[in-house]
Chain A
Amino acid sequence: GDSVTQMEGPVTLSEEAFLTINCTYTATGYPSLFWYVQYPGEGLQLLLKATKADDKGSNKGFEATYRKETTSFHLEKGSVQVSDSAVYFCALSDRQGGKLIFGQGTELSVKP
């Protein structure tokens, strides 16, 4: 079945460092891909998405490109802030009913 694999955390960075969180997927067909962010004690919020190959999703300085050839959707940010500390989830939406399948989440901690 479809699945999503994320790099394990926690990831600890200093403020203004470059961030990459790896995400790869296995799916039949052409799923839509998402990144969600969860701040402590809150629900998940949609961060960005891409619906077809080579699409780049972007929001709040974060970017991810849908790479069909490598089945990847890595999350990047050029300069992280303390306020970016959260858990990040990569997910795909299957074409049969649109159910979201999540990776296990990657905790990011940004130190001043």
Chain B
Amino acid sequence: NAGVTQTPKFRVLKTGQSMTLLCAQDMNHEYMYWYRQDPGMGLRLIHYSVGEGTTAKGEVPDGYNVSRLKKQNFLLGLESAAPSQTSVYFCASRPTGTGYGYTFGSGTRLTVV
């Protein structure tokens, strides 16, 4: 049981380049989330999805787009990368209902130069 898998694990981009981060879960979870983690700031929610075909903005959505075409996949896109987007990105999922914790992926470390 793989849980939540993120690809790639590391990436270096030049300013202005685009890329897509992939998150895949095999637990049939309805809810999926993208967070970024920066030193001293904890985790901040970028976008989330409450089911296939749905997306919603989180706390820091600017500069990112997402898609949830299939229930098991949640893609995070950067159309024109900026140095401020240098961060570690985590995907997470959880089942429907209250009181459930998230299952996290192992993260993608992105550096924008």
Task: Give me the interface of A with B, judged by CB distance under 8 Å.
Answer: 32, 34, 36, 42-46, 49, 51, 89, 93, 95, 97-105
Contacts and interface: CB of A to CB of B under 8 A. Distances in A.
Contacts of A103: 42
A81 B43 CA distance: 26
Given A100-B45, A101-B45, 19 more contacts: A32-B99, A36-B104, A43-B4, A43-B90, A43-B104, A43-B105, A43-B106, A44-B92, A44-B104, A46-B102, A89-B43, A93-B98, A93-B99, A95-B98, A97-B48, A98-B100, A99-B58, A102-B42, A104-B42
Contact of A98 (B4, B40, B90, B98): B98
Interface residues of B, number: 24
Interface of B: 4, 31, 33, 40-43, 45, 48, 50, 58, 90, 92, 94, 98-107
**Interface SS, A side:** strand
